[in-house]
């Protein structure tokens, strides 16, 4: 790759921004994004190309987990810079021919956007020219029910995503919203959560004396948050 080639400057959406709007053709019909997804969490993700092995393994994994994400009120929307007929042919091949890690007969029921014009990919900073000028990187945008981008993860072309981590991110964001807490490294439902920073000296003193908190120091306090209480709140059933 030539690092010295000049590339068009693109703006990339950031955490906290409203998700850029677009209309697109997908394998499940036309969509108006993010308006059609109001009230749901949505993961908008890109992949480099149809009929490629890493992408195929990812689509099979995501499709197999679709119900799990739906139970967390989270919809999936994929994108690559390929046409609709390529998408359809690839998804049919996956269903009819591909068996991988015990997954077979996998039907991808979430929409896959055709983006030959790169209109959407450019809006979302999915083309990273020093990685590839015509293939989208593996971008993942977590968008909340109000259409706000809450987390973004990018992976290069060669690296398949960890879908357990993507699910964990959705659960952690929902838990933060529902319970007003933060989540520490590697948090999973049932683990202790972190309470917000003390806003005053007396607040710092109070928390050190609060028997319901486990304070490593005044700035680092955790509390128990029951797993069932979390799951009752953030999952449908």
Residues with a catalytic annotation lie at: 55
User: Could you give the count of Cα atoms lying within 13 Å of 182 in the half-sphere of its Cβ?
Assistant: 10
The reply on whether position 98 binds ligand BEZ by CB under 6 A is no
Closer of 115 and 144 to ligand BEZ (Cβ): 115
78 binds ligand BEZ (CB under 6 A): no
Contact 61, 96 (CB under 8 A): no
- Residue from 3, 4, 158, 200 that binds ligand BEZ (CB under 6 A)? 158
Q: Distance of CA 16 to CAs 98, 119, 147, 167, Å? A: 39, 22, 10, 20
Interface with ligand BEZ (CB under 6 A), residue from 10, 70, 103, 157: 157
Q: Minimum distance between the CB of residue 157 and ligand BEZ, rounded to whole angstroms?
A: 4
Pattern of binders to ligand BEZ over 127-156, x per CB under 6 A?
A: --------x---------------------
94 binds ligand BEZ (CB under 6 A): no
Of 110 and 187, which CB lies nearer to ligand BEZ in the complex structure? 110
> Residues 10-39: x/- map of binding to ligand BEZ (CB under 6 A)?
------------------------------
Measured from the CB of residue 61, what is the shortest distance to ligand BEZ in angstroms?
13
In the complex with ligand BEZ, the residue whose CB is nearer, 55 or 108, is 55
Label residues 13-37 b or e (16+ Cβ within 10 Å = b): beeeeebbebebbbbeeebebbeeb
Of residues 45-64, which lie at the interface with ligand BEZ (CB under 6 A)?
48-49, 52-55
Q: What Cα–Cα distance (Å) separates residue 174 from each residue in 49, 63, 136, 183, 230?
A: 31, 22, 28, 11, 9
Query: Does 70 sit near ligand BEZ (CB under 6 A)?
Result: no
Show the CA angle centred on residue 117, arms to residues 116 and 121, nearest 5°.
90
Which residues in this chain contact ligand BEZ in the complex, by CB under 6 A? 48-49, 52-55, 135, 157-158
């Amino acid at each position: 790759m030539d690092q010295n080639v000049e590339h068009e400057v693109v703006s990339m959406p950031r955490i906290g921004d409203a998700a850029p709007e677009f209309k697109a053709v997908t394998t499940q019909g036309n969509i108006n994004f993010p308006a059609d997804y109001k009230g749901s969490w949505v993961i908008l993700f890109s992949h480099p190309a149809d009929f490629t092995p890493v992408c195929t393994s990812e689509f099979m994994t995501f499709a197999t987990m679709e119900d799990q994400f739906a139970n967390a009120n989270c919809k999936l929307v994929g994108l690559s810079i390929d046409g609709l007929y390529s998408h359809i042919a690839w998804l049919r091949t996956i269903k009819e021919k591909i068996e991988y890690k015990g997954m077979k007969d996998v039907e991808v029921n979430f929409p896959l956007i055709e983006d030959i014009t790169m209109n959407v990919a450019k809006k979302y900073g999915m083309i990273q020219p020093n990685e590839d000028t015509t293939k989208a990187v593996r971008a993942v945008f977590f968008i909340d029910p109000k259409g706000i981008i809450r987390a973004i993860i990018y992976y290069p072309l060669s690296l398949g995503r960890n879908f357990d981590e993507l699910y964990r991110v959705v659960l952690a964001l929902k838990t933060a919203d529902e319970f007003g807490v933060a989540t520490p490294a590697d948090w999973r439902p049932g683990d202790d959560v972190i309470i917000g920073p003390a806003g005053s000296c007396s607040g710092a003193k109070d928390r050190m004396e609060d028997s319901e908190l486990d304070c490593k120091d005044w700035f680092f306090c955790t509390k128990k948050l029951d797993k069932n209480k979390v799951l009752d709140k953030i999952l449908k059933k």
